[in-house]
Structure 1
Amino acid sequence: MMSETIKLVMVKRNMNGKELAEALGCSSQNVYALLKKDNWSEEQLRNVAEALNCDLHMSFELRDTHEQF
């Protein structure tokens, strides 16, 4: 799920995996593996958001009241 969102933002930013890897200071193989596995830590997501010049919003929302935390 997060990988699809990251890919969409990469398209919006006209950035490929190699460029994202350079911005993150890692290998393009690492970026492509993360995108494939779609198993991101919060720290990785924050770093990706920074590299893509985005704000990352994470919250919990109660299903019955829609209250967010």
Structure 2
Amino acid sequence: MYPVNGQQVPGEEIEFQTEGGETFNTYILHDGTKIKFKAVVLKFIRLDMFDQNGDPIYLVQATNALSADVPEGLKRKQ
């Protein structure tokens, strides 16, 4: 059972593998900072609920991975 919108819904954890590896997205900010970011999926859960098209609804448990390459002028002096 998994909590969804204040109710408990049956579901099943589904095993998975990545296709093509987990790559970072790179973002260049206007202040010159380069951010590398990706979501790292820990598990997928297929709920016993369906959307209006009849497709099953999935929960995703994930964490974020981030690294920043910050210009020297933006760093705090130590």
> Normalised by the size of structure 2, how large is the TM-score?
0.23
Which one has a larger percent strand, Structure 1 or Structure 2? 2
> Normalised by the size of structure 1, how large is the TM-score?
0.24
Structure ID, larger Rg: 2
Which one has a larger percent helix, Structure 1 or Structure 2? 1
